[in-house]
């Protein structure tokens, strides 16, 4: 009896803690940048980036300083944000999908779009999917719960180099000539091949804003997953942004990303739904140091993309929802896998009945309280069941059990980041205190009592976590076939370089209709 009273009481206490609006089917907008470093936004300290729209979002929202992505590379990171499960569970390991792959995100996984469908949500993804295409496009987003898709279904360097800057100013990057020209899909059809990068941002934001406006008009709750092609290499932008940034081509691309954010925010305001929309911005992994000054910047964090140093997996992150989320900063630990449980909470959706790796972020977002997450578990770009975790963080402490450099020039000053710094066990593990040493440069003395007691705890946590990890069957091992290169003119020769859409301007003209160019400088 007494227990019942307590649980009824705690129910009232808990529900009164939930702000009004929750459970009323707010819209969800997830803004996901590509290969953007922790130090790349002007709000996060970059001296020459021009990200005014993201800065506005940050000044009106909650800014995270210890937010993690599930993987230091694209596909696994994307699988995790959409399913709330680490890539080791979903089978999106090792590495990333390439265009001729047969595999993709397994259909038995539940994406945020699928989770929201029973509540009447409409979902769209605009931009980079990177969770497989497969035979007859059976892994495309429209087969994973999305009602609409427009974009290149993988990285835009997985195709021969496109024209990136106008007029023909080059791309500053190598691209893969073995694959077909970059295709832009609309749902499961190729609408443009090769993709025209000089108008891509306009097309992407046009698709995103018309999705927002039409759902707002019909009062349909929506989930927009805006997966920017920016700022992955090769850098590109429309004519309006070429040479617009004092930072150079990376700055031009980033400014164009920021412009797209502005278009989306304006569409939310203009359609009168901004008060009912939860917006979250972050990125898939750290900066590609391989690109040197033409790549991103991890700020004070060590190394970048492809590594389990902080620069590979800690990201800028901003949560925005007027009157619901108080503006400010938080040092609470949180991660991309926390988004699915958080979105389930704020929409009233039923979470998929599977092992999830995330925590509901409501205490951080709505109550200015510390979050539920105390630990973070780092798998490398190529997880291997025989090695397991590369690093474990618990509260302030992070131990490295394995290290490997990646996506980095071999002349980079810090040798552990370099691509030619091969994988190795770190034995005894290196231990850092990330609260006073976020740059991971002062390892804690291995003979100290602090080291011994902290390592005993971290080793235990690691063992328990690994015992509970059920590895999904690798989808990268499903094989590949050159014939799976997306092709708008099947049967053409020489395949796949001949793949092209017919020379018509129709599609481009159609898209111009639902774009607003008010923000183009
Ligand atoms: C950012 O861009 C705006 C608009 O194009 C311009 O007025 C401003 O000077 C730029 N700021 C920096 C720091 O580049
Ligand atoms: C951008 O700047 C480069 C280098 O100064 C120059 O070669 C190029 O013509 C400029 N492009 C445009 C569109 O102004
Ligand atoms: C969740 O799955 C477990 C086993 O996988 C099953 O026993 C349980 O009944 C399921 N719960 C619901 C609510 O479907
Ligand atoms: C990595 O490459 C740099 C530059 O070529 C070279 O000096 C260095 O010895 C290489 N390191 C290893 C471990 O091969
Ligand atoms: C989906 O199926 C794969 C086997 O193909 C399995 O490894 C994975 O655990 C399954 N996922 C779920 C959520 O049931």
Residues having CB closer than 6 A to ligand 4 are: 410-411, 418, 420
Residue with tokens 């990285």: 155
pLDDT at 60 over 60: yes
Q: What pLDDT sits at residue 12? A: 43
Task: Please tell me if the CB atom of residue 106 comes closer than 6 angstroms to any atom of ligand 5.
Answer: yes
pLDDT digits (tens, 9 = 90+) for 286-342: 999 999 998 999 999 999 999 999 999 999 999 999 999 999 999 999 999 999 999
The residue whose CA has the least distance to atom 11 of ligand 4 is 420
The ligand that comes nearest to the alpha carbon of residue 259 is 1
- What Cα–Cα distance (Å) separates residue 416 from each residue in 287, 389, 436? 15, 18, 21
> To the nearest whole number, what is the mean pLDDT of the chain?
92
Task: Please tell me if the CB atom of residue 242 comes closer than 6 angstroms to any atom of ligand 2.
Answer: yes
> 375, 370, 371: which is closest to 393 by C-alpha?
375
The residue whose CA has the least distance to atom 6 of ligand 5 is 472
CA distance 159 to 156: 6
Q: What pLDDT sits at residue 173? A: 67
Tokens of 504: 């018509």
pLDDT at 8 over 50: no
Expressed in angstroms and rounded, the spacing between residue 297 Cα and the centre of ligand 1 is 20
Which of 168, 169, 247 has most ligand 2 atoms within 8 Å of its beta carbon, as the pocket-test mutant? Answer: 169
Query: Vertex 198, ends 197 and 204: CA angle to 5°?
Result: 65
Q: What pLDDT sits at residue 17? A: 47
The ligand that comes nearest to the alpha carbon of residue 105 is 5
Expressed in angstroms and rounded, the spacing between residue 107 Cα and the centre of ligand 3 is 18
Q: Are 157 and 234 in contact (CB under 8 A)?
A: yes
CA distance 264 to 271: 11
81: left (phi over 0), alpha (psi -120 to 50) or beta: alpha
Q: Which atom of ligand 2 is nearest to the CA of 239?
A: 13
Q: How many residues does the chain have?
A: 521
Q: What pLDDT sits at residue 47? A: 98
0.95 exceeded by the pTM? Answer: no
pLDDT at 372 over 50: yes
Torsion of CA 32, 37, 40, 41, to 10 degrees: 40
CA distance 361 to 91: 25
Q: What pLDDT sits at residue 473? A: 97
Q: Which atom of ligand 5 is nearest to the CA of 473?
A: 7
Rg (CA), the chain: 22
Percent of the chain with pLDDT over 90: 85
Q: Which residue has the higher pLDDT, 8 or 428?
A: 428
pLDDT at 7 over 50: no
Q: What pLDDT sits at residue 166? A: 55
Q: What pLDDT sits at residue 232? A: 94
* Least confident span in 16-30, 232-246, 401-415: 16-30
Q: Which atom of ligand 4 is nearest to the CA of 411?
A: 4
Is 130 an annotated catalytic residue? yes
Q: In this structure, are strands 27-33 and 148-151 parallel, antiparallel, or unpaired?
A: unpaired
Q: Which pLDDT band, with edges at 50, 70 and 90, does 516 fall under? A: very low
Catalytic residue of the set 130, 156, 294, 400: 130
Residue with tokens 């490295």: 400
Is 74 an annotated catalytic residue? yes
Calculate mean pLDDT across residues 259-273: 98
pLDDT at 502 over 90: no
Calculate mean pLDDT across residues 177-198: 92
Calculate mean pLDDT across residues 41-56: 98
Expressed in angstroms and rounded, the spacing between residue 488 Cα and the centre of ligand 1 is 40
pLDDT digits (tens, 9 = 90+) for 77-136: 999 999 999 999 999 999 999 999 999 999 999 999 999 999 999 999 999 999 999 999
Burial class (CB in 10 A: 0-12, 13-18, 19+), 37: buried
Q: Which pLDDT band, with edges at 50, 70 and 90, does 19 fall under? A: low
Q: Which pLDDT band, with edges at 50, 70 and 90, does 161 fall under? A: confident
Q: Which pLDDT band, with edges at 50, 70 and 90, does 175 fall under? A: confident
Expressed in angstroms and rounded, the spacing between residue 353 Cα and the centre of ligand 3 is 6
Q: Which atom of ligand 1 is nearest to the CA of 52?
A: 1
pLDDT at 9 over 50: no
The residue whose CA has the least distance to atom 3 of ligand 4 is 410
User: Residue 25, Cβ neighbours under 10 Å: how many?
Assistant: 20
Q: Which pLDDT band, with edges at 50, 70 and 90, does 517 fall under? A: very low
The ligand that comes nearest to the alpha carbon of residue 356 is 5
Calculate mean pLDDT across residues 28-42: 98
CA distance 191 to 243: 29
Structural domains in the chain, sorted by start: 26-373 (3.40.720.10), 391-468 (3.30.1120.10)
Expressed in angstroms and rounded, the spacing between residue 420 Cα and the centre of ligand 4 is 6
The residue whose CA has the least distance to atom 5 of ligand 4 is 410
Q: What pLDDT sits at residue 135? A: 96
Expressed in angstroms and rounded, the spacing between residue 252 Cα and the centre of ligand 2 is 12
Residues having CB closer than 6 A to ligand 1 are: 50, 246, 521
Expressed in angstroms and rounded, the spacing between residue 330 Cα and the centre of ligand 1 is 28
Q: Which atom of ligand 5 is nearest to the CA of 108?
A: 1
Which of 47, 52, 55 has most ligand 1 atoms within 8 Å of its beta carbon, as the pocket-test mutant? Answer: 52
């Amino acid at each position: 009896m007494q227990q019942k009273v307590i649980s009824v009481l705690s129910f009232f206490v808990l529900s009164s803690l939930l702000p009004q609006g929750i459970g009323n089917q707010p819209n969800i907008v997830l803004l996901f940048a590509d290969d953007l470093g922790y130090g790349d936004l002007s709000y996060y300290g970059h001296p020459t980036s021009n990200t005014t729209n993201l800065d506005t979002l940050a000044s009106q929202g909650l800014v995270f300083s210890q937010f993690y992505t599930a993987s230091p590379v694209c596909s696994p990171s994307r699988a995790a944000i959409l399913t709330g499960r680490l890539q080791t569970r979903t089978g999106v390991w090792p590495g990333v999908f390439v265009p001729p792959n047969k595999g993709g995100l397994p259909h038995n996984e539940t994406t945020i779009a699928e989770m929201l469908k029973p509540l009447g949500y409409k979902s769209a993804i605009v931009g980079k999917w990177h969770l497989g295409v497969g035979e007859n496009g059976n892994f495309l987003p429209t087969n994973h719960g999305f009602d609409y898709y427009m974009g290149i279904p993988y990285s835009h360097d997985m195709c021969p180099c496109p024209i990136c800057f106008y007029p023909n100013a080059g791309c500053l990057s190598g691209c893969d000539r073995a694959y077909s020209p970059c295709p832009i899909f609309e749902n499961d059809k190729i609408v443009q091949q090769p993709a025209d990068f000089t108008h891509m941002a306009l097309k992407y934001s046009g698709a995103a804003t018309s999705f927002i406006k039409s759902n707002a008009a019909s009062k349909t709750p929506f989930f927009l997953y805006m997966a920017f092609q920016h700022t992955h290499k090769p850098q590109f932008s429309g004519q309006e942004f070429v040479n617009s940034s004092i930072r150079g081509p990376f700055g031009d691309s980033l400014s164009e990303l920021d412009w797209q954010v502005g278009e989306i925010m304006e569409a939310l305001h203009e359609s009168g739904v901004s008060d009912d929309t939860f917006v979250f911005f972050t990125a898939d992994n750290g900066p590609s140091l391989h690109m040197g000054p033409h790549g991103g910047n991890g700020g004070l964090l060590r190394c970048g993309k492809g590594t389990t140093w902080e620069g590979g997996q800690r990201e800028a992150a901003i949560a925005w929802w007027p009157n619901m989320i108080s503006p400010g900063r938080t040092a609470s630990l949180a991660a991309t896998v926390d988004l699915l449980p958080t979105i389930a909470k704020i929409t009233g959706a039923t979470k998929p009945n599977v092992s999830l790796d995330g925590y509901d972020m409501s205490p951080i977002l709505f109550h200015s309280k510390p979050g539920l997450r105390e630990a973070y578990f780092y798998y490398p770009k190529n997880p291997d069941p025989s090695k397991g975790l590369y690093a474990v963080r618990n509260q302030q402490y992070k131990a490295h059990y394995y290290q490997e450099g990646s996506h980095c020039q071999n002349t980079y000053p810090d040798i552990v980041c370099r691509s030619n710094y091969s994988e190795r066990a770190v034995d005894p593990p290196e231990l850092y205190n990330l609260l006073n040493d976020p740059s991971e440069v002062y390892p804690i003395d291995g003979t100290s009592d602090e080291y011994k007691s902290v390592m005993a705890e971290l080793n235990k946590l690691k063992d328990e976590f690994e015992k509970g990890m059920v590895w999904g069957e690798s989808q990268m091992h499903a094989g590949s076939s050159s014939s799976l290169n997306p092709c708008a003119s099947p049967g053409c020769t020489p395949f796949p370089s001949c793949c092209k859409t017919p020379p018509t301007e129709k599609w481009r003209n159609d898209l111009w209709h639902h774009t607003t160019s008010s923000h183009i400088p």
